[in-house]
Structure 1
């Protein structure tokens, strides 16, 4: 059975699967529906994504607007990333707060991210990143928050980040709040 830990922001859950090691290697269950169901979370995952990123890359902070908003179950297959989420839920007492945790391909921990969060990560070691989504990607519904918004104060743990052109142009949290009428 996996160990589940609630994060300081309501709705976020870290999952640490039990890993069985022997002389041949290891085995673990990387996903079980009942892990989340025991916490009242029943998500129908419709899409799996995987990416490779080199050390020093920062991806994010991304989200999908309704009706294509996505919950995510994220993990690292190999390598290590600092996974970061920002609460964008309109009526949340933690709106604008961020949470980060290291996802590690040796520990095989996961993070459940509910609908209403922006998501991103910085690559601490070359990494293969995988995640399940509760809805399909829709280009017209994509959005983002500027990764280095000073109001967020996120320490990405990267000295010279590699950033995509698109990720350099997202709005600040304050601009997002105005444009979205208070949040997602």
Structure 2
């Protein structure tokens, strides 16, 4: 089977989208594991021993005696948000992740820290107040105007279905603050 250049480029683009989606899922799972470790949750059960047979073209079937649970498709519903994580050095296995994936993880952690700060305050906060609180926790934002950088991140997450709502110029509250 010979592909035309256009077909090869289209297939390449499709594979890149799939790779990006997988990298996002991996980054999310690593972030949840890291947060769980920081919060001192119960240790994850060790994986079941598998047959050390060499890999072939076909994947080995899972062991019959131990059912394998699939990871959740979506993150758990947030009834309580954990305290904001402090920035930590990368853990094992993260060295191979691309800078883009690490930047996305850090961006998600910044948003989680901002949400925790808003809930801790119990009132809407201006982006500069949020920045002061998350800076105390070890987070930093690049650029000449970190408040503007944070405001942009918060604004992007304040749309429909997002975790934040924008109440005014650079003033935010958790999206579920008035629901219920």
Query: Relative to total residues, which structure has the larger strand share, 1 or 2?
Result: 1
Give the number of the structure whose residues are more often helix, by fraction: 2
Structure with higher Rg: it is 2
Q: Which has the higher contact order (CA 8 A, sep 6+)?
A: 1
TM-score by length of 2: 0.26
